[in-house]
């Protein structure tokens, strides 16, 4: 990796999103502008209703922006695509497929050669350390294992943008810590661009190159923090805590006014 700035992979250009809720229109996103260089780890953080999940779903292609444009590699996003992989909080694994079959789903859809599918599947089963569980069904796995499968599933499909919507929110503290660690390893090894939605300031500061604080009513990006701490990061260091406090302050300062009109 060189010191030269990485090429821009994602561009969000004055994207807004309005939802119709009954007769009312809810403005989920005010004009949002954002550029994301390749390989960056971004955390989106904010109170519920700040539009962070909406923004993620627009990038995934599950939602269309009301106005504005979302571009990947300079081309407009028109729908879901295998270049962007979403990891859901509730895993969304295919319950009738084994771990191996879930991971090989993307390659199988792309109709790769049988041997190639085998090779890719084995590689990613190994990457997430589930060799012993490869023939189990999702119902026979713990939450942490399920989320490992979900990550492997999108990476096996050559996704170069990893979209994660509070992926570790449903996990216990120990498992979450371990998965954060593994995610960072996978990220640095594969060079994917990661966009990670979270509620936790600590998680954001631990993982991200850049923390985007969003605020509600209508949803917008309030501030953009660079986290220049070296990895692995020490959560008890003064620098870490200073950043955490700074971001937490930004976060809460926008909570009060955003609640008032609602």
Partner 1 sequence: MNDHVTTLSEGADRGAPEAAAALRRRNRQRLEMLRALALGVGFPVLLVLIWDRSVAITGTRLIPSPYQVAVMMYDFSFGGVYDDAFSGTILIHIWKSVQRVYGGFFLAALIGIPLGMMIGRIKILRQLLDPTISLLRPIPVTAWLPLSMIFFGLGPNAAIFLVFLGAFYPILLNTIFGVRSVDPRLFEAASMLGCSGTAMFREIILPASLPAIFNGLRIAHGFAWILIVVGEMTGVPTGLGSVVMDGRTLSRTDLVITGMIVIGACGFVTDRIIVAISNRLLKWSPQHLE
Query: Please, are residues 99 and 125 in contact by the beta-carbon 8 Å criterion?
Result: yes
Tell which one of 110, 119, 126, 245 touches partner 1 (CB under 8 A). Answer: 110
Cα separation, 242 vs 200, in Å, equals 15
Beta pairing, strands 8-21 & 75-76? unpaired
**Between β-strands 220-226 and 210-215, what pairing exists: parallel, antiparallel or unpaired?**
antiparallel
Instruction: Select 157 or 198, whichever has its Cβ closest to partner 1.
Output: 157
Shortest Cβ distance from residue 57 to partner 1 (Å)? Answer: 9
Q: How far is the CB of 165 from partner 1 (least distance, A)?
A: 10
In the chain, what are the helix, strand and coil shares in percent, each to the nearest 5? 35, 25, 35
List residues bridging with 214 in a β-sheet: 221
90 near partner 1, rule: CB under 8 A? yes
DSSP state of 51: S
Of 137-176, binders to partner 1 (CB under 8 A) are: 137-139, 153-154, 157
Choice from 46, 106, 167, 217 touching partner 1 (CB under 8 A): 106
Contact call for residue 134 and partner 1 (CB under 8 A):
no
By CB under 8 A, the count of residues binding partner 1 is 28
Which spans of this chain sit near partner 1 (rule: CB under 8 A)?
60-62, 79-82, 84-86, 88, 90, 92-97, 105-106, 109-110, 137-139, 153-154, 157
């Amino acid at each position: 990796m060189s010191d030269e700035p990485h090429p821009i992979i994602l561009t969000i250009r004055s994207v807004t999103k309005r939802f119709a809720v009954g007769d009312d229109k809810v403005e989920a996103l005010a004009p949002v502008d954002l550029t994301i260089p390749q390989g960056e780890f971004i955390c989106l953080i904010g109170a519920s209703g700040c539009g962070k999940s909406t923004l993620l779903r627009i990038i995934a292609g599950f939602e269309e922006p009301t106005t504005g444009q979302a571009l990947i590699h300079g081309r407009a996003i028109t729908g879901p695509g295998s270049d962007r992989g979403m990891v859901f909080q509730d895993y969304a694994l295919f319950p009738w497929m084994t771990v191996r079959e879930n991971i090989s789903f993307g390659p199988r859809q792309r109709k790769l050669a049988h041997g190639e599918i085998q090779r890719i599947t084995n590689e990613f089963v190994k990457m997430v350390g589930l060799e012993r569980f490869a023939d189990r069904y999702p119902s026979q796995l713990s939450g942490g294992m399920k989320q490992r499968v979900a990550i492997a599933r999108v990476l096996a499909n050559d996704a170069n943008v990893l979209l994660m919507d509070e992926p570790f929110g449903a996990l216990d503290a120990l498992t979450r810590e371990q998965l954060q660690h593994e995610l960072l390893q996978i990220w640095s090894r594969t060079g994917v661009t990661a966009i990670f939605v979270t509620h936790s300031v600590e998680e954001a500061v631990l993982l991200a190159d850049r923390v985007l604080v969003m605020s509600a009513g209508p949803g917008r990006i309030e501030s953009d923090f660079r986290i220049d701490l070296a990895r692995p990061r020490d959560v008890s260091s003064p620098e870490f805590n200073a950043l955490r406090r700074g971001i937490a302050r930004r976060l809460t300062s926008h909570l009060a006014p955003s609640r008032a009109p609602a």
